[in-house]
Structure 1
Amino acid sequence: MTVKAKKRRYLQRTYMAKPGEVERKWWVVDAEGKRLGRLASQIAAILRGKHKPQYTPHADVGDFVIVINAEKVRLAGTKERDKVYWRHSQYPGGLKLISFRDMIAKHPTRPIELAVRRMLPKGPMGRQLFRKLKVYAGPNHPHGAQKPEILHLEG
């Protein structure tokens, strides 16, 4: 192998982040007046670490995200009236339907949690990333000791 080929081989190394060397930050996102889908996709990208230069697809390099005012999230057009969440118990007649308005009234944090969870990878990595999401219905959260920074998202 020539000297030039050896240099080229060493210059083309790809950096792979390791879990121990990742610096994690805490972010606060205010969901008041934001669109659900746009908010969820931006949160999912932050949880994965796609905003960092050391992003590695197979490693958890993302940050923690705290969402406040989840009950004030919006949907586009007539979706607030028409959107329906469903699940099935796998038994005959086991379909359960709940509208967006009812979901916000009963469980105000769940629409954001469901939207973000479905945008994360499936499997152990996605479950690990989802644990870094904290959603609260009102403007208060118990994570002041982590000194979270305010994150302004579009949408």
Structure 2
Amino acid sequence: MADLREQWLIALPYVRLFVVLLAKALTLLVPLNILTSLVQFLLRFPRDAAHVTASFVASPQGVRQALYMAHDEMLTITTDKWDDEIWGAAHATKHPHARPALRFLFAKSDHWVANETRNELIRARGRGLDGEEWKPKMEVDETGEWPHGFCIRHGVPVAERVKDYVEEIVEGDV
């Protein structure tokens, strides 16, 4: 859940407009290759990730859309609004078709998802040790190496873990 200070700041009517105009001014004055180097230096991103980020910032609607989405997330992602049937956690199904297989992989420490929020979700909705196979499989990367933005530097190991999820789901469908 978003911090109230963040909600307040992004909800101000002219903050989003100011940020969009600032990004537009920056991208008009700074060529993409220099902007890429700036992003790479400031965020310590690999060159390819910095280029994608700089291209997004320079795109016609990217910053505006990102700010809109962030504002919307801060307003809507608050408490668990899904009912038990969506989670597949109400009871085992008698339906002839299996429920969709939900899998969640959390970082050990995540600056976007508080550990206590993650742990509460896992306790409330995750698969326990008592044969609740219909509940979502939720796990935490205990290595502590994967950040929330895993795609920047950790895409391959995360993809390898997800590959195991996909194989498990496919084997269950055969």
The TM-score normalised by the length of structure 2 is 0.26
Structure with the higher helix share, 1 or 2: 2
The TM-score normalised by the length of structure 1 is 0.29
Report 1 or 2 for greater relative contact order, CA contacts < 8 Å, sequence distance ≥ 6.
Answer: 1
